[in-house]
Amino acid sequence: MPSFTVRRLSSGDEQALALVAREETDFTGEESSPPLAPADARAYLSDPAVWHWHAEADGQPIGFLLAYVHPQRHGEARHVMFDEIGVREGWRRRGVGRALVDALHKQMRAEGIQEVWVLADNPEAGAFYEACGYAVDEVQGVMLSHSVADREA
């Protein structure tokens, strides 16, 4: 089995971030997204609340994980929202996703953060998260969104 490495992205990794956006379909099955503008990508990668890892083989991304650190108004001072994970189709079921989740958990321990949560939108994702030690806490309602651009000022 070919080997891979996992590393957290930082400023200077804008091209790797853009590549994943352009090739989104191979990682997640979703439509490709336009990459961030260079200044926005630098700001994203420099933000200490953004934790973004890539699994790489031969210098190319084969998987990614994105999480955000959120300060809390009560209880623990911070928690982590595990937002997204994707692994190239040809690399699935080879330990890439698990290695990315392990990197997230290691970072949490290093930062003294105990709680992480993730939303699973399909049974396969739910089974993966459960295999990584996650458990269903409670049934959540439907996510709602709103764009202020839709309204006049």
Instruction: Please tell me the distance from the alpha carbon of residue 27 to that of residue 15, in angstroms, as a whole number.
Output: 16
- Tens digit of pLDDT for each residue in 65-110? 999 999 999 999 999 999 999 999 999 999 999 999 999 999 999 9
Q: What pTM does this model have?
A: 0.90
Neighbours of 100 (CB within 10 A): 24
CATH of the domain at 79: 3.40.630.30
Q: Domain residues for 67? A: 5-150
The one-letter amino acid at 7: R
Looking at the structure of the chain, the number of domains it has is 1
Instruction: Please tell me the distance from the alpha carbon of residue 97 to that of residue 37, in angstroms, as a whole number.
Output: 27
Percent of the chain at pLDDT exceeding 90: 83
State the burial class of residue 20 (Cβ atoms within 10 Å of its Cβ: 0-12, 13-18, 19+): buried
2 has pLDDT over 80:
no
String of DSSP letters for 75-95: SSSEEEEEEEEEE-GGGTTTT
Residue 53 in contact with residue 82, Cβ under 8 Å? no
pLDDT number for residue 1: 52
